[in-house]
Chain A
């Protein structure tokens, strides 16, 4: 991989991934491995943790793309690597004609104005020692945009996210979890970004508070035409906010489809298990549901299973395949392609199933 040439040629669009306009962000074959060190005085590299393996997707203008998966699926690593907060092991991330993976910190900085992130934990992501005004003003200062009108600008940002601008001189600990997350959003908006990566922005919040933050995010996205990469583990939240949803399992994308289709007719056995596992807040429906359940836990990403990484827990593999059919699952990594169901799915034996 050459790292000297930052200008990247336009990448071909991904077949069947939806979207007609030019993508804002193109991610191709993104790989991120973390070294696993031995214990003891002399720490040697004894293996790799395969956090992200060959992930490709496009993020279009004015859309929310959901990235969903359970803990350890690599979704947060994708989010961080896309923004070059982690250095990619290999692969490309193309934003407005530039390959971000080839940029060093200095050359990345001007682009950070346009690529912002909101973190999961509103308690850890805000500096406790400076006022909320300073927290929101910090990006303006860093990028040399803290001019005479900046005070008003910050007040306006606080108002925009539903906070009282009079409270700018307070400190983060004086706010509730929902309000802190709003502060984080105001900070991300300060530089008028084009793309915002949201890493589990509402998972630490109670539902009644979460709803307000979700409404705020959806207003911002639709009114400002922003592109959101929305990372979350909660499928109900995804269904509500995302236009398209990509499902991750153990470092790989297993299915990507428009939100409504993904939840109505999931094709990958893992997506089916996920949808099945979400309890519905409706007693009659919940009692009448048919479920597809998986066995066991997620395998270690240090030694992921060969072929399809889901096969060790896959109900289709365990119950419905013959031994000869299973060979493909063990030996061949299933590609993420349309297999007749209309959307890309990484399963040799994908079959759309209606679950809700």
Chain B
């Protein structure tokens, strides 16, 4: 693996709050080793926001769990994760617990499973507060819990503080999770698909609450999502993951306006858009590769219209394209300048010949009969 850190290197080191370098995660299974994360590196500066996008199975959530030290014992984790200069990999669980919540907080996708159903939401917030501030008395902790619930936009926080998770809607529960995440003023918030389970109008409210939480705490944000729209509006930089690696990273503008990796191009071209008419979408044919026994070469090659022989032999490293923070892992990134998805991908739909034959076979209107 030749992958190293791929952030903005010329910024003074002191600004980095989270540095991930050459992170690998492997899961041994009966069929062999699943290499879920294969050398992921990023760097997050204080107060900055990074979006990690990718489809199911790209390794984006596993990366986050590895950073938090939350993977099961069977997972083999390699590489380096530094929080404010301290190496987290290999740290004891007790030491990690001191950091979780106060240093790095995490927001999960499903608030019903991340909240404890047998305790009130107030109890769960004060528990987090008292874990990191043992001297805090109950009354102060409760007052702070009410305040936090108010901050994330829960109406009637004095009442809701005594509610159990099942008494709240999905949106309200996710607000409680955000309140817990911001309770101890973390430096980094990692949000893993925080709005995926929610309706759009509620999603908008939750994203707003997340912005409030960041504004209050000054926390940097790692936002993991499959929704490119959410990333466009809420992050400064974006990393696109595919088959356990970052295949393109850059500023949001770089990624959305001048993508240099065919996969990114394909993703953007396959999105139906609310703000414009598109004649055809450009789907990416095929499926992502199995991370068990991954063949050599570029993992995207089997689905890539630009594939050439080199692609099957060597996996391209993440190399700079254009001005600094923009990197792409494609042998032919240079050729993708000023290229749109429709120049690269086919707009395949139905099989034209089969469609014509099917149309011929369709009998014109026959009157409906009462019996078969």
Contacts and interface: CB of A to CB of B under 8 A. Distances in A.
A162 B369 CA distance: 33
A210 B274 contact: no
Interface of A is mostly: helix
A274 B275 contact: no
Contacts of B275: 280, 282, 285, 356
B233 A283 contact: yes
Given A111-B368, A218-B349, A283 B252 contact: yes
Given A110-B368, A236-B274, A283-B252, A297 B232 contact: no
Given A283-B256, A287-B233, A160 B351 contact: yes
Nearest to B284: A208
A237 interface: yes
Contacts of B282: 211
Contacts of B287: 176, 178, 209
Contacts of A248: none
B281 A211 contact: yes
Given A110-B369, A208-B270, A279 B201 contact: no
A30 to B, nearest CB: 21
B348 interface: yes
A293 B169 CA distance: 18
Contacts of A298: 199
Q: Looking at A206, A263, A281, which has the most chain B CB atoms within 10 Å of its CB?
A: A281
Interface in A101-157: 107, 109-111, 114, 143-144, 156-157
Contacts of B356: 223
B55 A208 contact: yes
B229 A286 contact: yes
Given A206-B55, A219-B349, A297-B169, A109 B354 contact: no
A206 B253 CA distance: 23
A160 B232 contact: no
Interface string A213-229: 11110111001100000
Interface stretch (B103-111, B140-148, B358-366): B358-366
B200 A281 contact: no
Interface string B189-206: 000000000011111110
A96 to B, nearest CB: 6
A263 B272 CA distance: 13
A12 interface: no
A282 B256 contact: yes
B256 A281 contact: yes
A277 interface: yes
A240 B347 contact: no
Contacts of A281: 228-229, 231-232, 256, 268, 271, 273
B274 A162 contact: no
A180 B171 CA distance: 31
Contact of B359 (A206, A224, A279): A224
A21 B67 CA distance: 60
B233 A279 contact: yes
A307 B130 CA distance: 47
Interface string A173-196: 000101000000000010010000
Contacts of B347: 215
A144 B207 CA distance: 54
A156 B358 contact: yes
A16 B271 CA distance: 31
Contact of A156 (B228, B252, B274, B354): B354
B300 to A, nearest CB: 11
Nearest to A313: B201
22 contacts: A160-B350, A161-B350, A162-B348, A178-B287, A192-B361, A192-B362, A206-B226, A210-B283, A211-B269, A211-B284, A212-B270, A212-B285, A215-B280, A215-B349, A233-B200, A236-B271, A278-B229, A283-B233, A286-B229, A294-B201, A297-B169, A356-B275
* 3 A-B pairs with least C-beta separation: A279-B229, A212-B283, A211-B270
Interface of B: 55-56, 155, 169, 171-172, 199-205, 207-208, 226-233, 252-253, 256-257, 266-275, 277-278, 280-285, 287, 347-351, 354-359, 361-363, 368-372
Interface of A: 70-71, 96, 98, 107, 109-111, 114, 143-144, 156-157, 159-162, 176, 178, 189, 192, 206-216, 218-220, 223-224, 233-237, 239-241, 260, 263, 273-287, 291, 293-298, 313, 356
Given A208-B284, A280-B274, 12 more contacts: A156-B357, A207-B270, A208-B270, A214-B281, A219-B349, A224-B359, A235-B200, A239-B272, A280-B233, A281-B229, A287-B233, A297-B202
